């Protein structure tokens, strides 16, 4: 079972290494990890996707909480908005270009760079949508893909503090 865990941490050097190291040495499997600053000065938010049974997730949560710089840990797997962003560089010939743009429009993706024989498309959405888009682009020849990893936030007015 996959879980999405949001972690508020003090924004200090080494925090990411501490968190990542914890996962490695305790044998927890990270699928993705995204970090960014928050609305609060000095506080960063990590979104970690981890797979494991309930006991593993409980241990992940408890062990994360033990880190001095971790302020809050919350499982946001349920009832949340989840997004990922990908940049996809795809080969484009004069013949295929229109088709690619059309597909991009259907996915509400944006063309962010145009070159003679390629395009870069920016696409956001949940994991399935991005995977589906990438899958469709394969027929044109994908040169490069980069994905951010998932970020998530629970619906409603309640906030992680």
Site residues for another protein, window 17-46 (CB under 8 A)? 17-18, 21, 25
Of the residues 2, 52, 59, 99, which one makes contact with another protein according to CB under 8 A: 59
Of the residues 5, 6, 9, 104, which one makes contact with another protein according to CB under 8 A: 9
**Tokens describing residue 11:** 């924004």
Enumerate residues 6+ apart whose C-beta is below 8 A from 142.
88, 89, 90, 91, 134
In sign, the C-alpha dihedral spanning 135, 137, 142, 145 is: negative
Of the residues 1, 37, 51, 68, which one makes contact with another protein according to CB under 8 A: 68
In sign, the C-alpha dihedral spanning 74, 30, 51, 78 is: positive
Min dist CB 70 to another protein, Å, is 5
Q: Is 63 in the site for another protein (CB under 8 A)?
A: yes
Q: Which of 154, 147, 10 is nearest to 69 (CA)?
A: 10
Q: Is 58 in the site for another protein (CB under 8 A)?
A: yes
- Collapsing DSSP to helix, strand or coil, 27 comes out as coil
Q: Which of 43, 59, 50, 51 is nearest to 8 (CA)?
A: 43
**Which residue's structure tokens are 């509400």?**
108
Cβ atoms of residues 34 and 149 within 8 Å: yes
Cβ closest to another protein, residue 25 vs residue 78: 25
Min dist CB 62 to another protein, Å, is 4
Q: Is 56 in the site for another protein (CB under 8 A)?
A: no
Cβ closest to another protein, residue 55 vs residue 158: 55
Number of residues that bind another protein (CB under 8 A): 21
- Residues at the interface with another protein (CB under 8 A): 9-10, 13-14, 17-18, 21, 25, 55, 58-59, 62-63, 65-72
């Amino acid at each position: 079972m996959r879980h999405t865990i949001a972690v508020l941490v003090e924004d200090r050097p080494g925090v990411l290494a501490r968190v990542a190291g914890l996962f490695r040495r305790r044998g927890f499997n990270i699928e993705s990890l995204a970090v960014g600053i928050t609305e609060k000065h000095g506080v960063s938010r990590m979104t970690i996707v981890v797979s494991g049974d309930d006991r593993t997730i409980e241990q992940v949560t408890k062990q994360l909480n033990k880190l001095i710089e971790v302020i809050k840990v919350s499982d946001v797997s349920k009832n949340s908005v989840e997004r990922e962003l990908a940049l996809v560089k795809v080969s484009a010939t004069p013949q295929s270009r229109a088709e690619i743009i059309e597909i991009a429009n259907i996915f509400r993706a944006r063309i962010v760079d145009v070159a003679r024989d390629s395009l870069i498309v920016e696409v956001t959405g949940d994991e399935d949508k991005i995977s589906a888009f990438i899958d469709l682009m394969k027929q044109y020849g994908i040169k490069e893909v980069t994905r951010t990893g998932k970020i998530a936030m629970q619906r409603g007015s309640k906030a992680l503090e």
